[in-house]
């Protein structure tokens, strides 16, 4: 360091300290706090479930699908949806058979079913959702007639949250918040389905999701 002006020496010392500090400290932090949060029983998360080409194929299939604004108890949400197969009306509280799942989504239904070791016809509903920038899905448990829920995230990541359904158990500490990456799959069943609610935080870019649901009792 001899011959270097003092401010250069100071900058070199500061930079190397910052690098080593952050390297050592981050490594240490990762050991202390594992990246994956502890999910409630029945919640499973699989990053990179589909590849980039498959994601592009699904996004273009969604963009060709006519979507409509989602209505819930007289309230108009920002997100847009299209439901195929069996649809639950929150307004009328009835399950009705709608349009067939389009051919362009069949392969993804088959892929999720094969992964879960069930047959594709277990999935009675396929819901396509478009979340414009800033939109969310509020805290909820899915409609009563449905059983397993499988969600594929597309186009951007989003913050997904879980909290107990029971009011007495709800507090800041009971919220599990984590990122669901684009191209990932999550599965909600068991306790996570019956005793937990889920929601998403406002998205920074347009997000699409595909939600597959099975029925508790076949109709």
Ligand X SMILES: O=C(O)CCC(=O)C(=O)O
Q: How far is CA 73 from CA 89, 90, 92, 96, in A?
A: 10, 7, 10, 18
Residue 188: is it exposed, middle or buried by C-beta count within 10 angstroms (0-12/13-18/19+)? Answer: buried
Q: How far is the CB of 149 from ligand X (least distance, A)?
A: 7
In whole angstroms, what is the distance from residue 22 CA to residue 110 CA? 44
Q: Rule CB under 6 A: which of 116-145 touch ligand X?
A: 127, 129, 137, 142
Residue 151 contacts ligand X per CB under 6 A: yes
Q: How far is the CB of 72 from ligand X (least distance, A)?
A: 10
CB nearer to ligand X: pick between 14 and 93:
93
Q: How far is the CB of 141 from ligand X (least distance, A)?
A: 9
Which residue from 123, 125, 198, 203 is in contact with ligand X, where contact means CB under 6 A?
198
Q: How far is the CB of 173 from ligand X (least distance, A)?
A: 22
- Binding residues with ligand X: total (CB under 6 A): 10
In whole angstroms, what is the distance from residue 87 CA to residue 126 CA? 9
Residue 148 contacts ligand X per CB under 6 A: no
Nearest alpha carbon to residue 125 among 140, 138, 112, 139: 112
CB nearer to ligand X: pick between 122 and 208:
208
CB nearer to ligand X: pick between 122 and 142:
142
Q: How far is CA 129 from CA 67, 95, 151, 185, in A?
A: 8, 19, 11, 15
Residue 197 contacts ligand X per CB under 6 A: no
The tally of CA atoms less than 13 A away on the side-chain side of residue 93 is: 2
User: By the criterion CB under 6 A, which residues form the site for ligand X?
Assistant: 127, 129, 137, 142, 151, 153, 198, 200, 209, 211
């Amino acid at each position: 360091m001899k011959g270097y002006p003092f401010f250069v020496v100071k900058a070199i010392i500061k930079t190397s300290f910052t690098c080593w500090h952050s390297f050592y400290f981050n490594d240490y932090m990762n050991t202390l706090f594992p990246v994956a949060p502890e999910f409630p029983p029945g919640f499973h998360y699989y990053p990179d479930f589909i590849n980039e080409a498959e994601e592009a194929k699904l996004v273009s299939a969604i963009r060709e699908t006519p979507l409509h604004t989602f209505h819930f108890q007289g309230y108009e949400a920002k997100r847009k949806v299209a439901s195929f197969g069996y649809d639950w009306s929150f307004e009328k509280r009835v399950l009705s058979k709608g349009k067939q799942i389009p051919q362009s989504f069949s392969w993804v239904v088959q892929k999720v079913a094969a992964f879960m070791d069930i047959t594709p016809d277990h999935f009675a509903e396929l819901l396509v959702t478009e979340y414009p920038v800033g939109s969310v899905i509020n805290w909820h448990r899915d409609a009563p007639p449905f059983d397993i829920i499988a969600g594929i995230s597309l186009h951007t990541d989003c913050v997904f949250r879980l909290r107990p359904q029971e009011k007495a158990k709800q507090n800041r500490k009971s919220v599990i918040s984590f990122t669901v990456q684009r191209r990932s799959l999550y599965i909600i069943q068991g306790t996570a389905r019956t005793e937990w609610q889920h929601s998403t935080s406002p998205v920074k870019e347009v997000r699409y999701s595909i939600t597959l649901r099975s029925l508790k009792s076949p109709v």
